[in-house]
Chains A and B, each alone.
Chain A
Amino acid sequence: MPSNTIDGYTFAVNDEGFLTNREEWSEPLAQVLASMVGIGELTEAHWAALRFMRDDQAKTGVTPTLRRMQTQGKFDVKQLFALFPGKPAKLMSYLAGLPKPVGCV
Chain B
Amino acid sequence: MLANKLVKALPPTASITVVDKDDDHDYQPGYLFISLGTSTPERVRRSRKAQLSPKVELVMDQIVSVDPDARKVTLKGRTLDYDWLIIATGTTPRPDMTEGLTDERIWRKSAFDFYTMEGSTALGKALESFEGGRLLVHVTEMPIKCPVAPLEFAFLAEDYFRHRRMRHLVDITYVTPLDGAFTKPVASKRLGGLLKDRSIRLATDFAIERVDPEKKTLVGFDGRELPFDLLVTVPTNMGAQYVIDSGLGDDLGFVPVDKKTLASTKHERIFAVGDASNIPTSKAGSVAHFSVEVFIDNFVEAYEGKPMTHAFDGHANCFIESGRGKAMLLDFNYDTEPLTGTFPVTTIGPMSLLKESRLNHIGKLAFEQIYWQMLLPGRSLPVPTLMSMAGKVPAEKTKES
Contact = CB atoms under 8 A, between A and B. Distances in A.
A86 B205 contact: yes
Contacts of A89: 207
Contacts of B142: 103-105
Q: Looking at chain B, what size class is its interface with the partner chain?
A: 20 to 34
Nearest to A90: B179
A77 B221 contact: yes
A77 B141 CA distance: 14
Nearest to A80: B221
Nearest to B222: A81
B183 interface: yes
Nearest to B279: A104
Interface in A53-73: 62, 65-68, 71-72
B29 interface: no
Nearest to A68: B251
Interface in B164-222: 177-179, 183-184, 205, 207, 209, 221-222
A85 B220 CA distance: 12
A42 interface: no
B251 A77 contact: no
A77 B316 CA distance: 32
B282 interface: yes
Contact of A71 (B177, B205, B251): B251
Contacts of A102: 183, 280
Contact of A105 (B179, B222, B252, B316): B316
B251 A103 contact: no
B143 A103 contact: yes
B37 interface: no
A78 B183 contact: no
Contacts of B28: none
Contacts of B209: 77-78
B183 A67 contact: no
Interface residues of A, number: 20
Contacts of B177: 103
Contacts of A86: 205, 222
Given A77-B207, A78-B221, A105 B280 contact: yes
A74 interface: no
Contacts of A85: 222
Contacts of B207: 66, 77, 81, 88-89
A3 B326 CA distance: 43
A53 B194 CA distance: 36
B180 to A, nearest CB: 11
B252 A67 contact: yes
A20 B125 CA distance: 50
B241 interface: no
B205 A105 contact: no
Q: Which of A72, A78, A105 has the most CB of B within 10 A?
A: A105
B316 to A, nearest CB: 7
Contacts of A67: 141, 251-252
A66 B209 CA distance: 12
Nearest to A100: B179
B147 interface: yes
A105 B282 contact: yes
A78 to B, nearest CB: 6
Nearest to A78: B221
Interface of B: 141-143, 147, 177-179, 183-184, 205, 207, 209, 221-222, 251-252, 280-283, 316
28 contacts: A65-B141, A65-B251, A66-B207, A67-B141, A68-B251, A77-B209, A78-B209, A78-B221, A81-B207, A81-B221, A86-B205, A87-B179, A87-B205, A88-B221, A89-B207, A90-B179, A90-B205, A102-B280, A103-B141, A103-B142, A103-B143, A103-B183, A104-B183, A104-B282, A104-B283, A105-B142, A105-B281, A105-B316
Given A78-B221, A105-B143, 8 more contacts: A65-B141, A77-B207, A77-B221, A81-B222, A88-B207, A103-B143, A104-B142, A104-B143
